[in-house]
Amino acid sequence: MTLRADASLQDIRLFVAVYEERSFTRAAERENATQSGVSQHVRKLESRYGVRLFERGANAVVPTPAGDRFYRSSIDVLRRYIVADRELRQHARGLEGTLSVGLMPSMTRCILAPALVRFMEAHPNVTVHTFEAYSRVLADRVMAGELDFAVVPALESTVGLRGRLLLRTPETIALKAGSGRLRHLEPARLADFGPLKVVVPGIANARRRSLDAYFAACGAEIVQVLELDAMLATLDFIERTDWVAILPGVLTAPDIDGQRLSIAPLTDPPLWLDLVLIEPLRTPMSPAAEAFLEVLSEESARVNRVWLDVVADTAR
């Protein structure tokens, strides 16, 4: 039997109660209704469809073949309604709107996904757009109003942008696992490595200037440089070769097990990367952006804590 659109959900719910209880009285008790009210809803269905749904005896209510078929259809309707109701209630929670966020590749490898999972569960009505790029591009897009905020390495003061420290993470040396060139997780001095072939970001990248200054200050012997502005490709490249890379701790935290890469924090001197939140000075951050930033900050701190614990342990 096909359900007609003018059969109300209440009609269907009360019919199902009678069918399952085999009693108008027990159906009324179950649905917090009156017996006469339940009977009226069932009679309305029978009149609407022109078919008897139950045989009513003195001591029993027995479904007809039409009642059996209608029950199967009704159960499907009720189940679909419950699913739809739960979905709507889920979407009734939290904030609404759209936000756009810019992140550098160091943030997207292991921080972005868990942050998105948490945020979207709490705020399903917010649409999140993420854009991965390096600092100058992200700063330009924030200035243009295309991004609510971005996370970048420390930038020089820029008119129209407001910045604040989000996270300080140690820079780490990373190379192919099992090479024997360093002790995994133990602080390493670049000057002790001898001639190095190093993968670095391009000259326009904010981290490049910091790395070049560090190489000069610590006396590292760099014999070959490969510029590669592709973080995942950098990880793959050093895993396959004898090249090394200096990478932020929040990026290398997933490799703490030493299966793919040998990694270690830099020492004598240590090198830290400041990750800064930038936003337009002219507009306040939306509630949705503030909520996402809170989750992103928590996930960043969680991932970074892995390296902070390593640094603290080795300092003892």
Amino acid at 189: R
Q: What's the confidence (pLDDT) of residue 143?
A: 84
Residues of the chain with CATH 1.10.10.10: 9-92
Class of domain 97-315: alpha beta
C-alpha 113/C-alpha 311 separation (Å) is 25
Q: What's the confidence (pLDDT) of residue 240?
A: 93
The whole-number average pLDDT for the span 171-178 is 92
C-alpha 305/C-alpha 284 separation (Å) is 30
**Binning pLDDT at 50, 70 and 90, where does residue 114 land?**
very high
C-alpha 260/C-alpha 275 separation (Å) is 26
Q: What's the confidence (pLDDT) of residue 302?
A: 92
Q: Is domain 9-92 given the CATH code 3.30.505.10 in the classification?
A: no
pLDDT single digits (tens) 175-209: 999 888 888 888 899 988 889 999 999 888 888 88
The whole-number average pLDDT for the span 147-175 is 88
Q: What's the confidence (pLDDT) of residue 59?
A: 78
Tell whether the model's pLDDT for residue 293 goes beyond 90. Answer: yes
Q: Which of 158-162, 257-261, 296-300 has the lowest mean pLDDT?
A: 158-162
Q: Which residue has the higher pLDDT, 113 or 95?
A: 113
Across 90-104, b (16+ Cβ under 10 Å) vs e yields: eeeebbeeebbbbbb
Tell whether the model's pLDDT for residue 5 goes beyond 70. Answer: no
Residues of the chain with CATH 3.40.190.290: 97-315
In this prediction the pTM is 0.70
Q: What's the confidence (pLDDT) of residue 245?
A: 95
CA-based nearest residue to 179, from 121, 250, 119, 264: 264
Q: What's the confidence (pLDDT) of residue 315?
A: 56
Inter-CA distances, 77 with 1, 5, 53, 231, Å: 13, 11, 17, 50
DSSP output for 257-292 = T-SSEEEEEB-SS--EEEEEEEEETTSPPPHHHHHH
User: β-strand 149-153 against 96-103: which pairing, if any?
Assistant: parallel
Instruction: Show the DSSP H helices in the chain as ranges.
Output: 9-21, 24-30, 35-49, 65-92, 105-108, 112-122, 135-143, 206-218, 231-240, 249-252, 287-315
Tell whether the model's pLDDT for residue 1 goes beyond 50. Answer: no
Say if CB 279 and CB 161 are below 8 A apart.
yes
Tell whether the model's pLDDT for residue 166 goes beyond 50. Answer: yes
Residue 164, both tokens: 């604040």
Q: What's the confidence (pLDDT) of residue 314?
A: 59
**Binning pLDDT at 50, 70 and 90, where does residue 313 land?**
low
| Residue partners of 6: CB distance under 8 A and separation at least 6 | 48
| Residue partners of 127: CB distance under 8 A and separation at least 6 | 97, 98, 99
Q: Which of 41-55, 84-98, 224-238 has the lowest mean pLDDT?
A: 84-98
| Residue partners of 217: CB distance under 8 A and separation at least 6 | 269
CA-based nearest residue to 261, from 171, 186, 179, 196: 179
**Binning pLDDT at 50, 70 and 90, where does residue 311 land?**
low
Provide the 8-state DSSP code for 253: G
pLDDT single digits (tens) 41-55: 999 999 988 999 999
Residue 215, both tokens: 């190489």
Q: What's the confidence (pLDDT) of residue 273?
A: 93
C-alpha 264/C-alpha 256 separation (Å) is 9
